[in-house]
């Protein structure tokens, strides 16, 4: 085959397909998580922030923050609400009109991860169900593919070492 003609053997060929496959699968799984979050997160954020004396425009703005940003903020331990409140003039104005106990609750390290936990768990369920379905499909295909076949390339010479090539070139 063409791989043998290039001097590539079976182990290397599998690595050629495994490495991009792993990257592709991570991309697919993150895409599923993000798309699932984008459907459930806005309603959850709107509902969770509506319990506080926040302006509706602020709540809508937070609800439409890209889900990838919110996910990584939570995974890295950042509270985006605290960041917005402390770094923008509008955020500081909102905080000045809120009761102290609400500001403390909104800026606590536990508030934001707890707020997005339900949509995140839903997204993980979707990803794990997708992975289980793909595993089941792979198992079924594997059962029906037949016995193991190893291609033998007897007509091509084995690759020579550098010293053997030099000796052969010297004899000519």
CA distance 3 to 46: 56
Model's pTM, two decimal places? Answer: 0.68
| pLDDT tens track for 82-121 | 988 888 898 899 999 999 999 999 999 899 999 999 999 9
d(CA 97, CA 95): 5
- pLDDT (tens digit, 9 = 90+) per residue, 29-70? 999 999 999 999 999 999 999 999 999 999 999 999 999 999
Percent of the chain with pLDDT over 90: 52
Collapse the DSSP code of 149 into the 3-class scheme (helix H, G, I; strand E, B; otherwise coil) and give the result.
Answer: coil
> Are the C-beta atoms of 83 and 112 separated by less than 8 Å?
no
Tokens of 111: 């508030």
Place of tokens 């009761």: 99
Q: Got the DSSP string for 4-68? A: HHTT--HHHHHHHHHHHHHHHHHHHHHHHHHHHHHHHHHHHHHHHHTTSS--HHHHHHHHTS-HH
Q: Pick the more confident residue, 10 or 29.
A: 29
Q: How far is Cα 112 from Cα 133, in angstroms, rounded to an integer?
A: 32
């Amino acid at each position: 085959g063409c791989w043998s003609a290039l001097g590539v053997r079976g182990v290397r060929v599998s690595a050629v397909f495994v490495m991009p496959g792993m990257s592709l699968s991570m991309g697919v799984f993150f895409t599923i998580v993000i798309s699932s979050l984008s459907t459930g997160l806005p309603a959850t954020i709107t509902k969770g922030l509506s319990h506080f004396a926040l302006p509706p425009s602020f709540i809508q703005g937070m609800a439409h923050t890209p889900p990838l940003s919110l996910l990584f903020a939570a995974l890295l331990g950042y509270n985006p609400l605290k960041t917005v409140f402390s770094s923008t003039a509008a955020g500081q104005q909102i905080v000045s009109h809120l009761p102290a106990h609400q500001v403390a609750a909104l800026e606590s390290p536990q508030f934001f991860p707890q707020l997005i936990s339900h949509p995140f768990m839903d997204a993980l369920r979707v990803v794990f169900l997708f992975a289980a379905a793909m595993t089941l499909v792979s198992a079924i295909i594997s059962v029906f593919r037949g016995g193991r076949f190893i291609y033998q390339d007897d007509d091509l010479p084995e690759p020579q070492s550098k010293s053997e090539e030099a000796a052969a070139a010297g004899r000519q």
